Structure 1
């Protein structure tokens, strides 16, 4: 058995970032930028007013009250074209460009208007309520960097920088194949010795949430010919994920197929749940073989499939981040495998998370995974732990997991 960290590094070493493509701005949410985005314009392009009021020369209103002649107006999108001379003012509105000759704004609450005259009652500081040209960004400034997972805020910034299209990484196409005569799809007739398959649909949802395009191939039977026939459906995808068939039983055929038509890099990881995980290739397609037990499959997806997809997307690929928490109950010493215990989260009086593992951790209990808020990580040979000890957890912070 190899350590979890070694397995992840070997998986990532077998993958390369995908190509890029152009998408319209309204289709870019959740995509990963393939290249930096530089501003095509300066924003604002010239000094503009930040408030409704009057554009003036600060020197004219240093002593108040001061009476000025209003020579025109400047609504947003249509600036005043003349030159502001001493003793003059221009009625101005938020977002309108500052008239030539003006250097400050007096807000309308500090004035009294009568006909073509305005009396300034409060003296503004030089540059008062003036947004300088380029206050937000200047032409050529890098506003978004390659590798950014685009949010609504990023889309808004790209639009303001005058980009109708963005260069993004292609979505990884992830083929998903469940194996085993004992499983059937939800809604199909269930035989006497069969159970409903959940892995493929759960993994497809995870892939979609993580920025990929799942290609669900169905359920492969426990025979070599049928398995090879269904594996052919993975051609042209970027990664094949299988569930089940990765152990050592007579009907676990994935390893055999890899040996005949591809390459097996490794199998068996020193972890629980998820020991029978493997990685290799079928033809030119990388293969990540996940265990058949539902919890094992999803835990391995979080630890290995997630980082693998980040590598394909050209992002920084690393193990899920851990954080400290207090232990909610006593634990016995751990053996040589790294444990990932499903746990609930509460908070102590100091605001520190308290992780309480479920008493049962059987890898077939999917219901406990949905009730959990984190995985408690126990290193190999971890000593017995007492309630209140500091441990490490992986919080379930991704909305799609």
Structure 2
């Protein structure tokens, strides 16, 4: 089986992944999720003319004063009457403008003696001064939030003011994680010389934690065909099943036979990239299946390139692939062989410098990196200062 180019593998995965159907989501729980339909205003904001300042509501025709104060308008307690020539109403920020009033004179520009008000400062500069006009923010039926928007707290505030208490948003993808390997022990547990703490499950869980999804970590599955097959069968109703480890061709690499024994199928296997070549993609019951390599760096890079885009796509993101940017190399790099290289590097001031340790099990370099330097298969040696593509982390 020939190695599949990264871009083709990403395209095939996204074609397999469907955007999930909408569900009704409380607006307080909608931040970070993508809209699949346009959100329009259900009401006008402001619904009527409001004061933008503390002061007095007047007729602009009477801007020189004096005025007789006939009442008060506060937020939530509007003045019930109407203003006649020569009259004013004490008004506070956010309060409804009384009928007949069209301007606010701020309290710093007047003096109040008994029920009479006198101008002592600047006149209002124009009719409508210090008034928030009805519909000045938006009007009922106006499009507010386009489809494909990642909702932020700012969008949530807008939707709430627009009359929405719930929003139609794609259902959260349900993801099952299985870490394979008899050598693994849980994080924090004592590890013998032939054992290693399991890091992939917690790494992937936290990578997915920034996305709208539900993650179930099934923990460590030993290198036994029956155990792995049974674990796979138990998560067939999830949207995505992810394994780490066991995706290569060794005697203890059981992901492929277990997937087949669980009545799953393989769409493609092995990617033209380093690290992360032994990646498996397919289906398992109702779920999409992704078998990531076991080395932590390989698992991280392939999750960044394949798993996270799948989740974004299913959650309604219109542009699910990782961001790619340009930078200048901070050090020379050797020619690239037959696979695309994703090299851990440090980006600073537009300069991307590759780190020294690039072994797929070297997690210290992974932790220090803030970008991946992407170099295509067959690229010639590169010198410091040359332009390269990077994937910010």
TM-score higher than 0.5 here? yes
Q: Which residue of 2 is the match for residue 76 of structure 1? A: 75
Q: How far is 1:279 from its partner? A: 0.5
Matches within 5 A, 1:214-293: 214-260=215-261, 261-293=263-295
Q: Does 1:2 align with 2:1?
A: no
Whether the 8 Å CA contact 1:258–1:280 is kept in 2: the answer is no
Query: What is the CA–CA distance in structure 2 between the aligned matches of 1:226 and 1:70, rounded to whole Å?
Result: 83
Whether the 8 Å CA contact 2:33–2:315 is kept in 1: the answer is no
Q: How far is 1:147 from its partner? A: 3.3
Matches within 5 A, 1:1-400: 1-61=3-63, 64=64, 66-120=65-119, 121-124=121-124, 125-260=126-261, 261-347=263-349, 353-396=350-393
What whole-Å deviation, never above 9, does each CA across 1:230-274 have from its counterpart, x for those lacking one?
A: 112212110111111111212212222334522211111111111
Query: What is the CA–CA distance in structure 2 between the aligned matches of 1:68 and 1:248, rounded to whole Å?
Result: 91
Q: How far is 1:135 from its partner? A: 1.3
What whole-Å deviation, never above 9, does each CA across 1:173-205 have from its counterpart, x for those lacking one?
A: 111111122222223453442212111121122
Whether the 8 Å CA contact 1:217–1:233 is kept in 2: the answer is no
Query: What is the CA–CA distance in structure 2 between the aligned matches of 1:324 and 1:116, rounded to whole Å?
Result: 69
Whether the 8 Å CA contact 1:174–1:207 is kept in 2: the answer is no
Query: What is the CA–CA distance in structure 2 between the aligned matches of 1:69 and 1:7, rounded to whole Å?
Result: 77
Query: What is the CA–CA distance in structure 1 between the aligned matches of 2:111 and 2:164, rounded to whole Å?
Result: 43
Q: How far is 1:317 from its partner? A: 4.2
TM-score by length of 1: 0.92
What whole-Å deviation, never above 9, does each CA across 1:305-334 have from its counterpart, x for those lacking one?
A: 111001111221432111111211111111
Structure 1 unaligned spans of 5+: 348-352, 397-401
Whether the 8 Å CA contact 2:238–2:286 is kept in 1: the answer is no
| Count of aligned pairs between the two proteins | 388
Which SS does the other structure have where 2:164 is aligned? coil
Query: What is the CA–CA distance in structure 1 between the aligned matches of 2:153 and 2:286, rounded to whole Å?
Result: 36
Query: What is the CA–CA distance in structure 2 between the aligned matches of 1:211 and 1:179, rounded to whole Å?
Result: 25
Which SS does the other structure have where 1:209 is aligned? coil
Query: What is the CA–CA distance in structure 2 between the aligned matches of 1:221 and 1:91, rounded to whole Å?
Result: 76
Q: How far is 1:336 from its partner? A: 2.2
Q: How far is 1:37 from its partner? A: 2.9
Indicate how the Cα distance of structure 1 residues 380 and 318 shifts in structure 2: closer, same or farther if over 3 A, else same: farther
What whole-Å deviation, never above 9, does each CA across 1:109-158 have from its counterpart, x for those lacking one?
A: 12122122212242211111111101112122233334333222222222
